[in-house]
Each structure stands twice: as C-alpha cells, then as structure tokens.
Amino acid sequence: MNIQAAEAPATVATLVMSGISKSFGGVAALTDVSLEVRPGEVHALLGENGAGKSTLMNVATGTIRPDAGSMVFRGEPIDGIDPRDATRLGIAFVHQHPAVLPDMTVYENLLVALPPAVFAEAPSREEFARSLLARVNLRAHLSDRVETLSVAQKHLLEIAKAIAVKPALLVLDEPTAPLGEDAVRMLFRLVREFVAGGTSVVYITHRLAEVRELADRVTVLRDGRLRATAVVDEISDRELLALIVGRQLDSTFPPKHDGPDEAPNFIIEGLTGPGFKDVSLTARRGEIIGIAGVVGNGQSDLLRALAGLSHFEGSVSINGTQVTSKRLLGEAAYLPADRLSEGLMMRLTVRENAAISALERFRTGRLLNRKRELGMVGDTLGSLSVKAASLDAPVSSLSGGNQQKVMVGRALLSEPELVLADEPTQGVDVGARAEIYQILREVSASGIPVIVASSDAKELEGLCDTVIVMSRGHVVDVLRGDDLTEERMIHAAVSSTTSTVGVEDITDADVDERTAVRRAKIRRFVQGDYAPAVLLVAVMVLLGAFIFAQNDRYLGAFNISAMLLLVSALGFIAMGQTIALLTGGIDLSVGPLVGFLVVIGSFFILNESSTASILLGFAAMLGTSIVVGLVNGTLIRYVKFTAIAATLTVYIALQGMSFILRPTAGGYINADISRAITTKIGPIPVAFIVLVLVVVALEYALRRTPWGWRLRAAGSDEESARRVGVEINRTVVLAYVATSVLTFFGAIMLMTQIGVGDPAQGVAYTLSSITAVVLGGTSLLGGRGTFVGTLFGAMLLVQVLNATVFLRLDQMWQYILQGILILAAAILYAVARSKRRRRAARKV
Amino acid sequence: MTDDSTSRRLTSARFSVSKGLVTMAVSTVVLVILGFAIAPSSVSQGAVLGMLPFASVLAIVGLGQMLVVQQGGIDLSVPGAVSLAVVLSTHIPNQNDAMLVPAILAVYAWAIGAGVLNGFMVGRLGLNPIIATLGTNALLFGAVLGISGGIPRTTTRLLSSIAGGRTMGIPNALLIALVVLLLVTILVKRTVAGRRFEAVGASPAAARATGLRYRTHRGAAYVWAQLLFATAGIMLAGITNQPTAFQGNTYLLTSVAVVVLGGTSLLGGRGYPVATVVAALFLSQLDQFVLALGVPFAVRTLVQAAALAIGVAIYTVDWAALRRRLVARSDAATATP
C-alpha cells in the first residue's frame, strides 16, 4: 500500500474531514475516514458500490450527521451543519438523482432553486438563465417543461444549478453516468474552468479513465474505510485497482457447477431494450449466470425485460423454446432489488406474500384450499428456514435476510421457468447469505436457469459459473472459468469507455431546433398550462352562439349580469380550490365553509345592524376562514392525515356548526350591503371585475413570485422541492389558509344571493368548485394549473347550467351536461398528458 | 401435504383480528353501555330495530366504498348510484310486484354499466378517481331525473316486505348485509382473483413486478362497488316507504367515514370488511345515542366529525415515531444553542 503522507498545504484547505465515522442501524458505513480537499484541485473519490463515497459527501454537505469526527471548511469548523448552511457556505452537491421539479419550466426550476442574489449581476434574469444553460450546453428552451426533458438534460440542469452559485466546493456524484459523449466532454471542460478559478471539486466515480483525465489527487475507499490518498500521476492503474478490490468476504459459497457439458438450456441473442443493447449470453443446465457492473449500467433493465416487464427485441430461449415477453411475465420469477417498494407487499403477511404467485395451485373448485396453501407455503418456507413469528406476521416485521427468503419462497412456489434475482443479498446478514447462495444453486441444479445481478463482484466470483460485465448498457466482457475473478470484473467495469445507450437526443435536439422552431413553439403552447383555457373559451363561444341562435334574450343585460354574479361566487371558491389542488391536495371543506360563513354573517350583517356590527361580522367571517385553513393545513402536514380525510372531517364539523348556530334559516342580510356588493357597471357586476382582477393578480403571483414557485414546487415533487430549499410544511399550510380566505370572498357573494343565513346552503360548492378547477386544466396530481383556466371553467359551468334554462331543457340535462363536461375534460387532458409523458420516456 | 410439523414450522391462525375491528367493536360496546346508563331510549327494542335496517344499508355501501378505497381510489358516485337504484326499483314496478324482478335486473345492469365506466376511466385511462366518479355521479343523477322526473313513487309491497321485514325477529336487511359481508369476505380472501385484488391494493408496484394485471384489478373494484351500491339502493327502496329521488345523498360522506373508521387507509392497502360493517353499526348507533340525549341534530354531526378525526388519528398517526421525534427534538433543542 502506498499511502502518501499529506504534504503541508500551501494555503488553507477547502475542506478537511478528519476521523469521520457513521453507522446505520449497527452497520458501519464509514469508519475513521479522513479527507482533505485543497483549493483548486479535482479530488477523485474512488471505490466500489457501497464503499461509502456518497455517504462521506452527504456528511460533508450536512445531509447526514456523523457519529464521530470533525470537519473544517476554509479554516472554520463546520460540525453540525445542515444542507442549507452548506449551500450558504458555498458547497454545492450534484446528486445522482437530480432534484428537479417536473411540472415547472426550466426557467422556473432555476428561479425556485437559486438565491435571488445570483441573478442580480446579469442585465436580466432570463438572460442569466439562458447563459447558464449555454454554459452547460443544455439545449432546452427556458419555457420547456422539465418533465419533457431527457434524463441527461435533467442532469445538465442540475449541474447548471450547482455552478450558478459559484461554489467554493463542488461535489459531483457520478455525473457522467447518464450523459452522452458530448455532454461528458462539456462537463470536463466546465470542471477544468472551475478549478482554474479556484473552486475545489470532489468527483465521485467508478471509472479510472475519468480519474486519469480529470483528477489531481485520488482517495480510495473500501468498506467504509480509507484505503489511500494519492497524487493521480504517481499511481498506476494496477495499484489503484488493488486498492479498490480485495474486500474481505465473510460468507461461504456452495461448490460451483461441475456436471457434464450438456447443450445450453438458456440462450439470449442480440437482446436490445430500454437501457441495454445487444446482449447475448448462453448457459448450460446447472450454471448460474452473473451480471456484473457498476449499479445503474443496465443490469436491472435487462432483468426487468427478461421478467416481461418491459419490451425487448432479440430472442430468448429456455430449454430450446423461444419465449415471448408475455410468457416471461407469467413464467419468470423476478426478485427485484428494491424489496421495500417492489419486491414484497410490505403490509401483507408472510403467507400472503409467499403464496401470491402460486394461487392457482392451491385451488380446489372455485375456492382456495386453506389447508393446501398452508401446507405448501409452510413446507417451502420451512425448507428455506425462514424465521418469522408466524405465517400471519406482516412481512415488514422480518429481517432483510428472511424477507429475501420469502421472495425466494414465492419464486419456488410459482414453479418458474426462469429465476431472476437482482441484488439478492443486499441488506442480508452473513448467515442468510450463505443459505440464499445454496438455494440458488439448488434451483439452478434442478434445471431452471438462474440469473443474478449484483454490484458485489466478490459475490459473483464466488457464486456464478459465467458472468457478463455491463457498462452503460453494453456487455463489455464475458468471463468464465479461471477468468471469473473480482479483479477482472472490476477492471472491465471501471476501465470501460463506452457511452450510454440511447441518450443521443442531445444532438437530436440540435436538428429539431433548426428545422422546426415554429413547431416547437406550438408544441410548447399545447404542452403549456394555458391550452385548456383557450379550449374553454372556444367551447363557451360556440355554446353561447348556439343558445343565442335559439333565444336572443340570452345575451340580454339581465341574463349576463345574473350569470356573472353566479360566476363571482363560484369563481372565488374555485380559485381557493385551485390553490389546494396545486399543492397536490384537495379541500373538500370549501362548500360547508362558505355556508358556515354566511351563517356567521347572518348574525352581524342585518338590516338593523350598526356599522360596527357589520364590520365585526366581516372580520368574524374572515377570522373563521383563516382558522379553518389553519386546521386543514395542520391536520394534513403535522398530523399526517390525507387531504381527503382531513378536509372531510372539517367538512362534517362545519356542517354541524352551521346547524348549531342556525337550526333553521334566519337572519336577513342587510339589503344596503347586498346592493353595494352587487353594484353593476352596465351589465357587468363590480364583483365580477374584482374577481377578474384577483385572478390576474393570483396568476401573476403564481408565475412570477417566489410564493407561486414554492407552491407549485411543493405540489410537483415534495422531495425535490425540499432539496432545493422549499419549506414544505409552511407552504402547504399557508396554501390551505389562502384557500379558505378566497372561500370567504365567495361567501360574501353567496350571502347577497341567498340573502339569509341558511345552514343547508353552500355544500354543493365543494363539488362544483372541483369541477370548475378540473375543467380549467389544473392537475389533481399537483404542481400545475392556472387561475385563468379555473375562471373559464367556472364560467363554462355556470353557462351550461344557464343554457338548460334557455334551451328549455329539464333538470336532467343540467346533470348530464355537467357529467359529460367534466368527463370529457378529464379524459382529454389525461390522454394529452400521457402522450406527452410517453414522448418524454422515449427520449430516455 | 402431510402433517409433519417440525418445531420451527410456521403456523397460521385461523382468524385474525384487525386493529380497526377491535377499535370499532370496543367503541360500539361502550356506546351501548353508555346508552343503558344515560340514554336508555337509544337501546330500546324499537330504536334498535329501527336503526338496524339503515345501518345495514350503510354497511353495504361502506363495503363497496372499501373495495375502491383499498385500491387507493375513492368513489364519489355513491349518491347517484344509490339514488338510481332506489328510483329504478320503485318506478319500474310502480307498485306492481310482478315487475320487481325486471326492475332489479335493470338496477344491476345500470350498476355494471356505471362500474365499467368508472373502472375503465380509472384503471385503463389512469384518470384521477375523484374526477372520474364525480362525472359519473352527475350522469347517474341525470338518469335518476330522466326516469323519475324527480317525483317519488311508493315502494311495491313485495320489496317492502323483503327489505323492511323481519325473520325470527331479526330485520331482513341485517341478514342481507351479513350475507353480503360473507360474500365479500369469501371473494376477497378465498378466491384467486380476490387474493390478487388484495395484493394489488397492498402494493401496486410489487404486484406489477410479480406479473399481476394490476390495472384490471384496480378497475374491477369500481364494478364491484357499483354492484354493492345497487344492492344497498334496492334495500333502501324497500325500507323507505316513499323514497325521494335524492335518497343516496347522505351516503357519500358516511360511506367514506365507515371505511376510514374500519381501519382501511385512504392511501390504499388492505381492506377490513368486518370492521367496516361494525363501523357502520357504530356510526348508526352513535346517531341513535345522540338523538336519545335530546341534543339538536347539529351536535350529531359534530360528534360524527370528532369520531372520524379520532378514528383517522388512531390509524394514521405513527404514535411511536411521534414520541421519538418529540424526544429527539427536545434533545436537539438542548444540544444546539
């Protein structure tokens, strides 16, 4: 080992980490690791999967708090910092998974993530944003929705965000993994520029070639321990490799296949699919196939395709029979790496999980035979020595190893034609590992082909008879027999220079831009938020023209102002609902709230009331609405109710309170006040004009102010929003308060319309406000929508109800037209969106 | 399979009792005891016999809602579906017993139509269930008004004697509800499709990875739900002598409430049929109890809201984690100045 003594630095080091230790649930992730990053250097961090590279950098950026050790940043101790402090100090971290907000545009993503001061020096914010994109070579329009970008483009956006703040320390976590060749070159150029300007860069990677090309010094980690820090030019590839590999292995492996050389029973030829290209391999009966490589280089994609979960081209044959994707879906047993979300149904019991793929075997007649199910499941799990309290124990209560065994049990019970195991021993204790290896060996010996993907090369060396090494979706090496060693695998994986499959769209976009600027503009509009509003206006004009042709009193001043007054009440409430939906929630309580507020008003705002009483009445209504908003928001964010459960509870409670205050209708609203509120200019009520002004103001706030960006960020992707610094709890609670306050304005309008405190009124506004918002194109998934669209949605809804009167249609048609309207809008928007998403997915 | 149980062989209990069932059963018993203590009229024979048929209807609607909720959805077309069933089973026969069977067939035909529509929109097109079922609800009410014109008709004697009658002193409605409960339980727990259905609800991602047709199962929930809503509607028509065209309106919120009280998560997951039925009983008896206390109608609503809030809090709040967090926070507060 050639550990170099760190020379005394000429200047103050950018970052010094000393003696960092961290363990998760008793498992040591980092043990006594020290690292020093000097100003103006690229410091590569090298090591196998799980060596602790990302964990170490998460400690440096305050995402993870270490158990022991200390850190100094430019001479200042920074122990106990949080990510926000880190950003303020000038530490930028480009994560492997970009924290971008899919529903917002490229420009808005920059605005919400970057501190305003960053923009100050450029002549205009847009110009600054454009220059930023140009620097990272991201050929996307500022108003492109991030959802439509490819994975590589999202990464470039993430890098753009990091360099915009001119960090003193830039951490790049495997930045080239999703990038095409051009983008990698651009990134390297950028890194060099930065370093020349005095920034320090920590570069996490698996690839020796990149270390050689870019880094000044390199630190190697293994098993969470520091192996060495060296100057890149003074260490050979062989020495580096020796530092990376050689992990101590504590489990034993069953003997390898040693039978007669039969004909292959499993052949893959020229398999190409999403994430992998031209994969071929063969295996004989009894052989276990391994897939090696750095995580995320197409191994899981290949397994998914073989499990029938994604399409592929090329041929797969098992025991001489060609199998289709559909057949594989039914016959292959797939053990995903992510046990928690994909592998097992955590809320169900051990028995239910084990039995799910083999239910047909337990059937007698129409019903499942309990005895047979228990017998077979019990036998299988018993033979795998699964340890659990009982078959009824929730599978989530089992240890990682036993969960994995339940998955294996499920696979065995289903009598599969092919077994695909992705990271079968991740999070599994030593004893269970050996047992799982033994089981896989037995399955393979019984003639069922077994494929194991693992990021642990040592494991593949011990377990497999043949191993393919994948890098960026390509097979870069096939190893058998004596060649099958950890060193060969890691060597093949880290020294590969292939570029990623299928992210060449960066050059595609180039062609696009030149040939179809106008088409892109139209596309952007159709994909934008305002397309539904235009559609609604068109429908309203057509409907209006049709009714006018039937009855010319339709456009009379009386009808216009009557309609617009109805729109004003519904409009304000629907504006509120829009805010709730933008956060990804829903507010069912707006209907009863508007009724309750009118009931409150009916105690203060009477014909005989004094001015003070009237003012008090409005204040009470406003105050109540704020309290209700706070209750909704608190229940959702702090007590963790679902939005439906929370607002439903408030819904029922508000209705009860209305009836307590006024068991029957009573309290006539002050006529002067009513007249004042319903004042008209020509046929147009002033209230409607106010509504329009509010809509314009809200729309502006939504697009152009931090409030709007934060609101949409929180609704678009909570995790990413948190990472870019949005305070989710505060944003959402305030959103529900805003919803209630807008409902208060709706209540003022409703008060003048019904003229009396009636506890039964208002409830219908819950559903009609949701209808108006949906018509306007706001997504119930959160993050995207417009107030303008909602306004038109409310207008169309009122227009349709009004139309039934003029067309002399009975009440039935009111319902049917409403139903058709909402379903047509929902289906149209959903289909348009899924098309768009498919297009974006194809780009990946 | 032989019975060679070794010492480490895993076993399974014949019956399991969910947290929701325990909570609801205990609450109901407490409510009855309280009734004997301070509001005896709430547990009089007349009150109980009057309450049970309506509780049974609510139970059946709740079971339908539960099937949808356990797939992570929600069905807002309850009012339209129940009202339509009520209207069809009173208007088609128009007090002629012979026409009852065709009427009931028509009810189920409509139910299947509405269920397939909802299921297609949610399962296949991936629409948000709130919007899809909201639209369907409007269409169903269109049908209600188209058929009835909003004018109620009197129930046929036959239906009234079946749904409103008693067998050996027990309301038939309750017996029907129990049969429906048994059917739902058997279908979900004892058939291949039912078990897959439950797995899809528990984890769509895992169900997909094991090769199940998760979209179909998701969509199917809406069809089953409509069939149950229709059954409840027919019973309601029999119990109420002259049902209105909007008889289903009261069942929207209460159906969601009983599902939530029964312990089924609105985010999807496992459904608890028995607990849902007990929750329906609890909510109905709660109404009786508050009524017997002589407080205004409004207080009943408030009590319902409180029961719902407490119910949701019991199941959704991770109390242990909350305690840990509070402790950690006070630690952190002392650690950092």
Residue A473 Rama label (left phi>0; alpha psi -120 to 50; beta): left
Question: Which stretch, A392-396, A564-568, B17-21, has highest mean pLDDT?
Answer: A564-568
Give yes or no for residue A844 having a pLDDT over 70. no
Report the gap between the CA of A693 and the closest CA in chain B (Å). Answer: 28
Q: How many helices (H) and strands (E) does chain B have?
A: 14, 2
Across the interface, of A344, A352, A649, the residue whose CB is closest to B305 is A649
- Pairing mode, if any, of strands A418-422 and A367-368? unpaired
Q: Does A178 touch chain B (CB under 8 A)?
A: no
pLDDT over 90 for what percent of chain A?
36
Give yes or no for residue A796 having a pLDDT over 60. yes
Number of residues written out for chain B? 337
Across the interface, of A410, A822, A834, the residue whose CB is closest to B135 is A822
Report the distance separating Cα A605 and Cα A611, nearest Å.
9
Question: Do residues A152 and A98 touch, judged by C-beta distance below 8 A?
Answer: no
Look up the domain containing B104 and give its range. Answer: 18-330
Q: What is the pLDDT of residue A696?
A: 96
Question: Do residues A295 and A491 touch, judged by C-beta distance below 8 A?
Answer: no
- CA-based nearest residue in chain A for residue B299: A656
Report the distance separating Cα A669 and Cα A665, nearest Å.
12
Q: Does A665 touch chain B (CB under 8 A)?
A: no
Report the distance separating Cα A772 and Cα A763, nearest Å.
15
Helix (H), strand (E) at residue A470: strand A466-471
Q: Which residues contact A338 (CB under 8 A, 6 or more apart)?
A: none
Mean pLDDT of A17-36: 86
Residue A560 corresponds to which amino acid?
I
Q: Which residues contact B135 (CB under 8 A, 6 or more apart)?
A: A819, A820, A822, A823, A826
Residue A133 tokens, joined:
């994109």
Question: Do the chains contact at B312 and A641, CB–CB below 8 Å?
Answer: yes
Tell me which residue of B71, B63, B72 sits closest to B272, measured CA to CA.
B63
| Number of separate domains in chain B | 1
Q: What is the pLDDT of residue A24?
A: 76
Give yes or no for residue B275 having a pLDDT over 50. yes
Rg from Cα positions in chain A: 32
Question: Do the chains contact at B131 and A774, CB–CB below 8 Å?
Answer: yes
Across the interface, of A345, A759, A814, the residue whose CB is closest to B206 is A345
A303-316 pLDDT per residue, tens? 999 999 888 899 99
Helix H, strand E, coil C: the string for A241-286 is HHHHCCCCCCCCCCCCCCCCCCCEEEEEEEEEECCEEEEEEEEECC
Question: Do the chains contact at B253 and A342, CB–CB below 8 Å?
Answer: no
In a mutagenesis test of the B interface, which of A373, A640, A815 is the best target, namely the one with the most B β-carbons within 10 Å?
A815
pLDDT over 70 for what percent of chain A?
94
> Is B337 contained in some domain?
no
Across the interface, of B121, B211, B269, the residue whose CB is closest to A347 is B269
Question: Do the chains contact at B203 and A363, CB–CB below 8 Å?
Answer: no
> Is B91 contained in some domain?
yes
Residue A223 Rama label (left phi>0; alpha psi -120 to 50; beta): left
Give yes or no for residue B319 having a pLDDT over 70. no
Question: Do residues B168 and A313 touch, judged by C-beta distance below 8 A?
Answer: no
Across the interface, of A341, A370, A382, the residue whose CB is closest to B205 is A341
The residue with tokens 């609801």 is B24
Give yes or no for residue B334 having a pLDDT over 70. no
Q: What is the pLDDT of residue B335?
A: 46
> Is B336 contained in some domain?
no
The residue with tokens 């102010």 is A705
Of A833 and B246, the structure prediction assigns the larger pLDDT to B246
Confidence of residue A503 (pLDDT cuts 50, 70, 90): very low
Confidence of residue B58 (pLDDT cuts 50, 70, 90): very high
Q: Does A820 touch chain B (CB under 8 A)?
A: yes
- How far, CA to CA in Å, does A588 sit from each of A449, A669, A766, B142? 54, 26, 6, 23
Q: What is the pLDDT of residue B8?
A: 59
Q: What is the pLDDT of residue B332?
A: 52
Question: Do the chains contact at B10 and A372, CB–CB below 8 Å?
Answer: no
Q: What is the pLDDT of residue A507?
A: 39
Residue A462 tokens, joined:
């011990």
Question: Do the chains contact at A309 and B208, CB–CB below 8 Å?
Answer: yes
- Pairing mode, if any, of strands A169-173 and A321-322? unpaired
Q: What is the pLDDT of residue A6?
A: 43
Question: Do the chains contact at A770 and B207, CB–CB below 8 Å?
Answer: no
Number of residues written out for chain A? 844
Question: Do the chains contact at A359 and B192, CB–CB below 8 Å?
Answer: yes
- CA-based nearest residue in chain B for residue A351: B12
Residue A258 tokens, joined:
């040693």
- Pairing mode, if any, of strands A264-273 and A276-284? antiparallel
Q: Does A564 touch chain B (CB under 8 A)?
A: no
DSSP character string of B63-124: HHHHHHHTTT---TTHHHHHHHHHHHHHHTTTT-GGGHHHHHHHHHHHHHHHHHHHHIIIII
Q: What is the pLDDT of residue A291?
A: 93
| ipTM for the assembly | 0.86
> Is B101 contained in some domain?
yes
Q: What is the DSSP letter of A390?
A: -
Report the distance separating Cα A595 and Cα A597, nearest Å.
5
- Cβ contacts (< 8 Å) between B257 and chain A: which residues? 648, 652
Give yes or no for residue A694 having a pLDDT over 80. yes
Q: What is the mean pLDDT of chain A?
A: 86
Q: Does A376 touch chain B (CB under 8 A)?
A: yes
Q: What is the pLDDT of residue B42?
A: 87
Give yes or no for residue A85 having a pLDDT over 90. no
Across the interface, of B186, B210, B300, the residue whose CB is closest to A357 is B210
Question: Do the chains contact at A640 and B318, CB–CB below 8 Å?
Answer: yes
Across the interface, of A80, A387, A648, the residue whose CB is closest to B253 is A648
A134-147 pLDDT per residue, tens? 888 888 888 888 88
- Cβ contacts (< 8 Å) between B199 and chain A: which residues? 345, 348, 352, 356
Residue A600 tokens, joined:
């409150």
Q: What is the pLDDT of residue A497?
A: 67
Kindly tell me the burial class for residue A310, based on how many C-beta atoms sit within 10 Å of its own C-beta (0-12, 13-18, 19 or more).
Answer: middle
Give yes or no for residue B12 having a pLDDT over 90. no
- CA-based nearest residue in chain B for residue A327: B211
Q: What is the pLDDT of residue A722?
A: 85
Mean pLDDT of A48-68: 85
CATH code of the domain containing B317: 1.10.3470
A296-353 pLDDT per residue, tens? 788 889 999 999 988 889 999 998 888 988 888 888 999 998 888 888 998 889 999 9
Q: What is the pLDDT of residue A198?
A: 86
Question: Do the chains contact at B135 and A826, CB–CB below 8 Å?
Answer: yes
Question: Do the chains contact at B256 and A644, CB–CB below 8 Å?
Answer: yes
> Is B77 contained in some domain?
yes
What's the pTM value of the predicted model, to 2 decimals? 0.85
Q: What is the pLDDT of residue A26?
A: 66
Q: What is the pLDDT of residue A4?
A: 42
A266-282 pLDDT per residue, tens? 999 999 988 888 999 88
Q: What is the pLDDT of residue B337?
A: 38
> Is B285 contained in some domain?
yes
Confidence of residue A842 (pLDDT cuts 50, 70, 90): low
- CA-based nearest residue in chain B for residue A357: B210
3-state secondary structure of A14: coil
- Cβ contacts (< 8 Å) between B150 and chain A: which residues? 811
Q: Does A832 touch chain B (CB under 8 A)?
A: no
Question: Do the chains contact at A390 and B11, CB–CB below 8 Å?
Answer: yes
Of B332 and A691, the structure prediction assigns the larger pLDDT to A691
Report the gap between the CA of A205 and the closest CA in chain B (Å). Answer: 30
Report the distance separating Cα B290 and Cα B32, nearest Å.
12
In a mutagenesis test of the A interface, which of B301, B304, B310, B325 is the best target, namely the one with the most A β-carbons within 10 Å?
B301
> Is B335 contained in some domain?
no
Question: Do the chains contact at B298 and A770, CB–CB below 8 Å?
Answer: no
Mean pLDDT of A15-27: 84
Question: Do the chains contact at A640 and B135, CB–CB below 8 Å?
Answer: no
A181-211 pLDDT per residue, tens? 778 888 888 889 888 888 999 999 877 888 8
Q: What is the pLDDT of residue A509?
A: 43
Q: Does A767 touch chain B (CB under 8 A)?
A: yes
Q: Which residues contact A540 (CB under 8 A, 6 or more apart)?
A: A792, A795, A796, A799
Mean pLDDT of A554-574: 92
> Is B152 contained in some domain?
yes
DSSP character string of B150-205: T---PPPHHHHHHHH-EETTEEHHHHHHHHHHHHHHHHHHHSHHHHHHHHHHH-HH
Q: Does A326 touch chain B (CB under 8 A)?
A: no
